[in-house]
Amino acid sequence: MLRLYDTRTRQVERILPEGARSLRMYTCGPTVYRFAHVGNLRSYLLSDLIRRVGERQRVRVVVCRNITDVGHLVDDAEIDPAGEDKVLAQARAEGRGPLETARFYEDAFVADTTALNIRPPEHSPRATETVDLMVQMIAELIGKGHAYAVPDGSVFFDAASFSSYGEISGNRLDRLKPGHRHEGVDPRKRFHADWALWKASDREMTWDAPWGRGFPGWHIECSAMSLRLLGGRIDVHTGGIDLRFPHHENERAQSDAVAGREVVRHWVHGEHLLFDGRKMSKSAGNVVLLKDVTDAGLDPLAVRLALLEHRYRQQTNLTWETLRAADRTLRRWRARVAGWSESPSAPMPAEPVARIEAAFDDDLDTPLALRLLRELERDDSVAPGSRFEAFLHLDQVLGLDLSVDIGRAGSLPAGAAELLERRERAREAKDWAAADHLRDELAALGVRVADTPQGQVWS
State the binding site for ATP. Answer: 282
Distance CA 235, CA 14 (A): 11
- C-alpha distances (whole Å) from 454 to each of 18, 283, 313 are 45, 30, 29
Q: Point out which residues pair with 458 in neighbouring strands.
A: 449
Q: CB within 8 A of 396, min separation 6: which ones? A: 52, 55, 56
Q: Contact at 8 Å (CB) between 67 and 106? A: yes
Nearest in space to 260 (alpha carbons), one of 165, 155, 144: 144
Nearest in space to 228 (alpha carbons), one of 66, 100, 340: 66
Angle between helices 38-56 and 350-361 (to 10 degrees): 120
Bind-site residues: 28, 222, 247, 251, 282
Nearest in space to 53 (alpha carbons), one of 345, 333, 362: 362
**179: DSSP letter:** P
Distance CA 222, CA 289 (A): 26
How many CB atoms within 10 Å of residue 283? 7
Distance CA 32, CA 131 (A): 17
Bind-site residues for Zn(2+): 28, 222, 247, 251
Strands 155-157 and 455-458, how do they pair?
unpaired
- C-alpha distances (whole Å) from 279 to each of 25, 112, 130 are 28, 20, 33
